[in-house]
């Protein structure tokens, strides 16, 4: 590909490279159990599998569950996510996967009680009900809360690490 040739979309690239050889290489890395089909190949730190597609010069890496649905005849669009009904990031079983938007995935996550819930305390246990301890960042579509106590602790620890002392 030269500089004047546009890079194909994820969906187009995947559609161009799906063949029996890729399928055989992919399914060799899957352990089919009675429930989930587990990806045995490379995984990221969250447990999601990934798989490289295409020749070395133009190779692209995709999430393994994205390849699984494509091999099952449903090539996800670039604006679509492949979500898990089973909530197992290692699973590549096509009937455990569904196509959706980021919003669909977040709604599914919250419906199953997996998301981080709005809490009265930050992750380190400081109160978020006391408005004097909360920063609010308004991003238009949502408001993010942040703990001022944690912010101050990180700020002072960073100053101390730089040797600037901990002026209070």
CATH number at residue 32: 3.90.75
Q: How many domains does the chain fold into?
A: 2
76, 69 in Cβ contact below 8 A? yes
Same-domain check for residues 88 and 129: no
Query: Which among 111, 144, 160 is the end of a domain?
Result: 111
Same-domain check for residues 21 and 100: yes
For 124-157, how does the pLDDT look when each residue is reduced to its tens digit (9 = 90+)?
888 888 888 888 877 777 777 788 998 888 888 8
Same-domain check for residues 107 and 139: no
Same-domain check for residues 83 and 130: no
Same-domain check for residues 107 and 128: no
Same-domain check for residues 122 and 106: no
- pLDDT tops 60 at residue 2: no
- Above pLDDT 70, what percent of the chain? 92
Query: Residue 127 and residue 98: Cα distance in Å, rounded?
Result: 38
The whole domain housing 128 covers: 118-168
Same-domain check for residues 103 and 42: yes
pLDDT band at 165 (very low <50, low <70, confident <90, very high): low
pLDDT score for 42: 94
Same-domain check for residues 129 and 56: no
The reply to whether 3 falls in a domain is: no
The reply to whether 5 falls in a domain is: no
Query: Residue 167 and residue 13: Cα distance in Å, rounded?
Result: 55
The reply to whether 141 falls in a domain is: yes
pLDDT score for 120: 79
pLDDT band at 4 (very low <50, low <70, confident <90, very high): low
The reply to whether 68 falls in a domain is: yes
pLDDT score for 129: 81
Same-domain check for residues 94 and 46: yes
Same-domain check for residues 106 and 28: yes
Angle at Cα 145 formed by Cα 140 and Cα 150, nearest 5°? 145
For 44-73, how does the pLDDT look when each residue is reduced to its tens digit (9 = 90+)?
988 999 999 998 888 999 999 999 999 999
Same-domain check for residues 106 and 154: no
Same-domain check for residues 31 and 80: yes
């Amino acid at each position: 590909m030269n500089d004047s040739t546009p890079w194909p979309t994820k969906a187009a690239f995947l559609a161009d490279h799906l063949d029996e050889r890729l399928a055989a290489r992919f399914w060799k890395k899957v352990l089919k159990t009675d429930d989930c089909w587990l990806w045995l190949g490379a995984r990221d730190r969250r447990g999601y599998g990934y798989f490289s597609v295409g020749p070395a010069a133009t190779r692209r890496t995709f999430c393994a569950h994205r390849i699984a649905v494509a091999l099952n005849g449903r090539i996800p669009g670039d604006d679509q996510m492949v979500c898990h009904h089973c909530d197992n990031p290692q699973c590549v079983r096509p009937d455990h996967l569904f196509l959706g938007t980021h919003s669909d995935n977040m709604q599914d996550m919250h419906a199953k009680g997996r998301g981080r819930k709005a809490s009265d305390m930050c992750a380190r246990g400081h109160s978020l009900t006391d408005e004097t301890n909360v920063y609010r960042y308004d991003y238009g579509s949502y408001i993010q809360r942040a703990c001022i106590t944690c912010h101050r602790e990180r700020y002072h620890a960073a100053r101390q690490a730089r040797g600037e002392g901990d002026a209070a």
